[in-house]
């Protein structure tokens, strides 16, 4: 089997290769100490666990789970848990690396971690999901903790999942500890403003890049690929800031209206839909398109907020947006990135654009440790501050070195982590 065939068979391997390529490029530009580079290319810890779960009909299924800690140089590992059939060690490793750079770039005292279970959660009942989640928590409990590794929600997990994890961990340890996870319900120590934090961070990134380009939000059209939590809240906040959302999509397909979409009506439709998708949604002036066609629409801003590797060398030449703000993790391949740069398309990279969630996760962790909770206005004001400062740091760093935003973001993030490693030294 060729390397190309292997990557096609395992998308996670392709994603990890892309993450490693980004690190290598940044390290070369920084003239990074090769010893530190060798350390940053590897995970400090990778755990693979088997999860036997008794299903509702009495038979046992065994799922495979993962938890990866890329590094803890700048603080405890931090990262979400995803439930999806494609979850693999390679995918989780790539996502853990991205979390390291993301935390570094927005300057919160965390490092990168990630976890997941290879499962289609739609096939499981709520009781089966609960049993699987508790078994997974038990399996990874030796390597997580509020000062070690702090999970959060990710794809197909939510505050209910975090409640099960928090409760299971408390039972195992024999003590209540709300800081073990973030993304919890507010009634169990979660933070106000957490549910829409990633989407708000994307919207702030859109605002900041348009401001530097001298383009008013009110004069811009935006297409959003993905209508899950990140895509929905991104679209909502971008619309609130004055831009016109002309297209959105989910697994059921894309929906396009050049005169603008009613995002609130679409979000309400999804809530009431049996499939929890936009399938069947209709309104005057609406055209149905594919997810692939959405990426190539004429618009000012494209927000890929679905899966990784959506913009590739196969379609990058057809992208018509002037700006891309990455709501998803790794939606653009390195080959596509080079093409976009040739075409003068400005890309705000994922490690900044979708960092709003980890910033508010940090706020939740701080509030839990203090036992003192903030208002939603305080959370959003602080999130705006963190995102705006981080964007300015990235933009200024790139201007001084005459590099695109993605390279600027990676170089700045890697330099901060490398500095922390150098200051700590290598044990023993």
SS3 state at 246: strand
Q: Cα–Cα distance between 197 and 84 in angstroms, integer?
A: 22
d(CA 339, CA 307): 20
- The answer to whether residue 173 is catalytic is no
Structure tokens that stand for 62 in this block:
């065994």
Residue listed under structure tokens 């654009």? 353
Q: Is 48 left (phi over 0), alpha (psi -120 to 50) or beta?
A: beta
Burial class (CB in 10 A: 0-12, 13-18, 19+), 141: middle
Tokens of 324: 């891309």
Cβ–Cβ < 8 Å for 156, 121:
yes
Structural contact between residues 25 and 338, judged by C-beta atoms closer than 8 angstroms:
no
Per the CB < 8 A criterion, the answer to whether 120 and 85 are in contact is yes
User: How far is CA 243 from its chain centroid?
Assistant: 23
The radius of gyration computed from the CA coordinates of the chain, to the nearest angstrom, equals: 21
Task: Quote the distance between the C-alpha of residue 400 and its chain's center.
Answer: 28
Per-residue DSSP letter, 208: H
Number of H helices, E strands in the chain: 15, 12
Q: Which of 102, 114, 184, 207 is catalytic?
A: 114
What is the number of other CB atoms lying within 10 angstroms of the CB of residue 290?
Answer: 11
Distance CA 191, CA 193 (A): 6
Report DSSP letters for 368-401, one per residue.
Answer: HHHT----HHHHHHHHHHHHHHHHHHHHHHHHHH
Residue pair 321/345 in contact by the 8 Å Cβ criterion: yes
Q: How far apart are CA 193 and CA 376, in angstroms?
A: 5
Strands (E), 55-162: 60-69, 77-84, 111-118, 149-153
Is 405:347 a contact under the CB 8 Å cutoff?
yes
Instruction: Name the residues annotated as catalytic.
Output: 114
């Amino acid at each position: 089997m060729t390397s190309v065939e292997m990557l096609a068979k395992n998308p996670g391997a392709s994603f990890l290769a892309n993450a490693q390529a980004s690190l290598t490029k940044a390290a070369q530009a920084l003239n990074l100490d090769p010893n530190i580079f060798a350390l940053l290319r590897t995970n400090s810890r990778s755990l693979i666990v088997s999860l036997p779960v008794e299903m509702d009909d009495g038979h046992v299924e065994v799922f495979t789970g993962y938890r990866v800690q890329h590094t803890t140089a700048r603080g405890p590992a931090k990262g979400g848990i995803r439930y999806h059939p494609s979850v693999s060690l390679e995918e989780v490793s790539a996502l853990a690396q991205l979390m390291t750079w993301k935390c570094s770039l927005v300057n919160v005292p965390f490092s990168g971690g990630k976890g997941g279970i290879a499962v289609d959660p739609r096939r499981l009942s709520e009781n089966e999901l609960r049993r699987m989640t508790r078994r997974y928590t038990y399996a990874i409990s030796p390597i997580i903790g509020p000062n070690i590794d702090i999970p959060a929600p990710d794809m197909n997990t939510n505050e209910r999942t975090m409640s099960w994890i928090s409760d299971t961990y408390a039972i195992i340890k024999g003590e209540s500890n709300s800081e073990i996870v973030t993304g919890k319900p507010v009634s169990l120590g979660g933070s106000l403003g957490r549910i829409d934090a990633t989407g708000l961070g994307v919207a702030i990134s859109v605002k900041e890049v348009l401001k530097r380009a001298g383009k008013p939000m009110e004069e811009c059209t935006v297409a959003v690929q993905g209508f899950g939590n990140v895509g929905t809240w991104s679209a909502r906040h971008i619309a609130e800031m004055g831009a016109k959302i002309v297209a959105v999509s989910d697994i059921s397909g894309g929906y396009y209206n050049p005169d603008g979409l009613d995002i609130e009506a679409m979000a309400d439709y999804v809530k009431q839909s049996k499939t929890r998708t936009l399938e069947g949604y209709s309104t005057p002036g609406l055209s149905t398109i594919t997810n692939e066609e959405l990426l190539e629409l004429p618009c000012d801003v494209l927000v890929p907020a679905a899966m990784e590797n959506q913009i590739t060398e196969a379609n990058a030449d057809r992208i018509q947006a002037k700006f891309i703000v990455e709501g998803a993790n790794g939606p653009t391949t390195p080959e596509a990135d080079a093409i976009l740069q040739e075409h003068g398309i400005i890309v705000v990279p994922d490690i900044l654009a979708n960092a709003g969630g980890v910033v508010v996760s940090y706020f939740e962790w701080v509030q839990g440790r203090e036992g003192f909770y903030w208002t939603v206005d305080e959370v959003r004001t602080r999130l705006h501050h963190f995102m705006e400062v981080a964007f300015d740091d990235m933009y200024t760093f790139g201007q001084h070195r005459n590099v695109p935003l993605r390279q600027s973001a990676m170089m700045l993030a890697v330099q901060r982590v490398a500095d922390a490693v150098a200051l700590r030294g290598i044990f023993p």
